[in-house]
Amino acid sequence: MSLSWIILGQLDSIEAMVISLPSFLYWFTTQLDDQRFWRSNESTSKKVITRDEWERKLKDVKIRKEDMNKLVMNFLVTEGFVEAAEKFRIESGTEPGIDLGTITDRMAVKKAVQFGNVKDAIEKVNDLNPMILYANPQLHFHLQQQRLIELIRIGKVEEALEFAQEELAPRGKENQSFLEELERTVALLAFEDVKNCPYGELLDVSQRLKTASEVNAAILANQSHEKGLGRNQQSQFFMAE
């Protein structure tokens, strides 16, 4: 079966992005122009460019097939389409930069966060490589913060307070931004109706997706580097620390 049929659905997302890109970029530059970002100084007049001129300039930009193939492969790997990525690798000769066999484990972590099973997600990350969280304290904090959010969501107030005090408060003492995020999260407990809480968006599904995306990117980055730095070397470094 042709690869085009296999990844047609996935490529629809890329196509939509590419089609809308010229319009977005034109709109964005006009916004910058309105805010006088295009002026080098107060006495310099603005340089005006029409939408047609902008789109003509974009059409003159040539994208190499190799670069487009890398874009497609990156999309397939990032979003977890293992079978499509393997077939695309064979047909296009584009290497993914990671072991495709690791995609399933990475997506399991991402889905665990998306469904609110953050403790399980953290365990899975550490099973993959404990260096991931060790080297990314911000990610580690955000995962723990998400655990706190999930406890608050299901009404486990005492457990949430205990968890915040034992796991998150020490991190907040070392990092001001962590402390501020912790305060925002704990503030959810002060409102019976979280809809009236100024930080109610933390309980929205979009917060889960944000955290899931962050951990997905961190795992992917780590796996991309493992080809250049052997796992044994990473373990030795971790033990030395």
Q: What would the mean pLDDT of 6-23 be, rounded to a whole number?
A: 48
One domain for residues 63 and 160? no
One domain for residues 138 and 201? yes
- Render the burial of 174-199: b for 16+ CB within 10 Å, e for the rest: eeeebeebbeebbebbeeeebeebeb
Q: What would the mean pLDDT of 33-47 be, rounded to a whole number?
A: 50
pLDDT tens, position by position, 90-113: 988 888 888 888 889 999 999 999
One domain for residues 21 and 71? yes
One domain for residues 110 and 178? yes
Query: CB neighbours (10 Å) of residue 230?
Result: 10
One domain for residues 61 and 132? no
Residues 6+ apart with CB under 8 A from 178: 141, 168, 171, 172
Give the CA dihedral 171, 172, 177, 178, nearest 10 degrees.
60
One domain for residues 58 and 173? no
Residues 6+ apart with CB under 8 A from 126: 132, 133
One domain for residues 89 and 120? no
**Conformational region of residue 81, where left means phi above 0, alpha means psi within -120 to 50, and beta covers everything else:** beta
One domain for residues 147 and 64? no
- Domain finish residue from 81, 96, 111: 96
User: Between vectors from CA 111 to CA 108 and to CA 113, what angle results, nearest 5°?
Assistant: 110
Kindly report which listed range (65-79, 174-188, 210-224) carries the lowest average pLDDT score: 65-79
- Domain finish residue from 96, 117, 147: 96
DSSP 127: H
The structural domain count of the chain equals 2
One domain for residues 151 and 77? no
One domain for residues 127 and 230? yes
Q: What is the pLDDT of residue 135?
A: 93
Q: What would the mean pLDDT of 135-149 be, rounded to a whole number?
A: 97
> Above pLDDT 70, what percent of the chain?
74
Q: Comparing C-alpha atoms, which of 181, 199, 201 is closest to residue 191?
A: 199
- Render the burial of 95-119: b for 16+ CB within 10 Å, e for the rest: ebebeeebbeebbebbebbbebbbe
Return the axis-axis angle of helices 8-34 and 65-79, rounded to nearest 10°. Answer: 110
Q: What is the pLDDT of residue 27?
A: 53
Q: What is the pLDDT of residue 186?
A: 93
State the Cα–Cα distance between residues 162 and 195, nearest whole angstrom: 24
Rg of the chain (C-alpha set): 23
Q: What would the mean pLDDT of 109-124 be, rounded to a whole number?
A: 96
- Domain finish residue from 96, 115, 136: 96
- 8 Å CB contact between 147 and 137: no
One domain for residues 50 and 129? no
One domain for residues 82 and 125? no
Tell whether the model's pLDDT for residue 36 goes beyond 50: no
- Boundaries of domain holding 212: 103-240
Q: What is the pLDDT of residue 117?
A: 97
Cα 125 from chain centroid (whole Å): 15
State the Cα–Cα distance between residues 123 and 129, nearest whole angstrom: 10
State the Cα–Cα distance between residues 144 and 171, nearest whole angstrom: 10
Residue ranges in 35-101 assigned as alpha helix (H): 51-59, 65-79, 82-92
> Above pLDDT 90, what percent of the chain?
42
State the Cα–Cα distance between residues 146 and 203, nearest whole angstrom: 9
> Two tokens at 229?
């730095």
Q: 114 falls in which pLDDT band (50, 70, 90)?
A: very high
